[in-house]
């Protein structure tokens, strides 16, 4: 699946409005919800999110008739940002580019656990929103991995899905401090290196 197709699928999930004032309200609601869910506050009410966004509850419901739709919008918005961030590393040498993006990915996964877990309750792990987002992350990270492999720096027996699973598993170790998570990630990433014969 191409990155262009993945982006289109993600945009179709987010149902972004077109009018400028509606777009501003949409963006404020997503930002307020992102903040609430990043704090791991599963009990944040829609009324509280609307208040934080500076809009009425009716405006929230016009954009997001259900809590699930708001959760999905935040999740998709975050995945889109994570995918776009791969371009931030494109000018770095291959190894540094891959490592930089994987560190950003672990930070993303670490802060999104409450959001993802609540979405699992609504959708289950096999829902289309998750498969589309996984495909988009693979499309974004794949070129970074392939460039490092082409440079002879990374083992060729791994694919980007393997690496994303590895990073996600480390990020989900909720009992560890962020510094410990970063250290474990560095150890795991080092295992991707090609070793001299």
Give the pLDDT mean for 94-109: 93
Residue 6 predicted with pLDDT over 60:
no
pLDDT, one tens digit per residue, over 141-190 is: 999 999 999 999 999 999 999 999 999 899 888 788 888 988 999 999 99
Close Cβ partners of 166 (under 8 Å, ≥ 6 residues apart)? 188
Residue 43 predicted with pLDDT over 80:
no
Residue 195: phi and psi, rounded to 5, are -100, 140
- Residue 119: pLDDT band (50, 70, 90) is confident
Higher pLDDT, 4 or 54: 54
Higher pLDDT, 122 or 2: 122
CATH class of 3-14+67-190: mainly alpha
Report d(CA 169, CA 163) in Å as an integer. Answer: 10
Q: 3-class DSSP state for residue 154? A: strand
In contact, 72 and 112? CB cutoff 8 Å: no
Instruction: Supply the pTM of this predicted model.
Output: 0.79
Reference 107, options 33, 178, 35, 176; nearest CA is 178
Residue 191 predicted with pLDDT over 50:
yes
- Residue 48: pLDDT band (50, 70, 90) is very high
In contact, 99 and 144? CB cutoff 8 Å: no
Report d(CA 155, CA 178) in Å as an integer. Answer: 27
Give the pLDDT mean for 97-114: 88
């Amino acid at each position: 699946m191409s990155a262009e197709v993945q982006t289109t699928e993600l945009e179709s999930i987010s149902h972004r409005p077109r009018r400028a004032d509606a777009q501003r309200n949409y963006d404020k609601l997503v930002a307020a919800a992102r903040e609430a869910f990043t704090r791991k506050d599963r009990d944040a009410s829609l009324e509280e999110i609307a208040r934080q966004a500076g809009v009425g509850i009716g405006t929230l419901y016009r954009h997001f008739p259900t809590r699930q739709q708001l959760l999905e919008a935040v999740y998709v918005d975050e995945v889109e940002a994570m995918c776009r961030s791969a371009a931030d590393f494109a000018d770095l040498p291959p190894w540094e580019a891959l490592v930089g993006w994987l560190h950003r990915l672990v930070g993303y996964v670490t802060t999104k656990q409450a959001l993802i877990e609540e979405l699992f309750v609504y959708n289950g792990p096999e829902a289309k929103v998750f498969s589309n987002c996984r495909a988009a992350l693979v499309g974004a990270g794949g070129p970074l991995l392939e460039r490092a492999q082409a440079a002879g720096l990374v083992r060729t027996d791994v694919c980007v899905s393997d690496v994303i699973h590895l990073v996600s598993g480390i990020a989900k170790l909720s009992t560890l401090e962020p510094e410990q998570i970063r250290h474990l990630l560095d150890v795991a990433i080092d295992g991707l290196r090609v070793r001299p014969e």
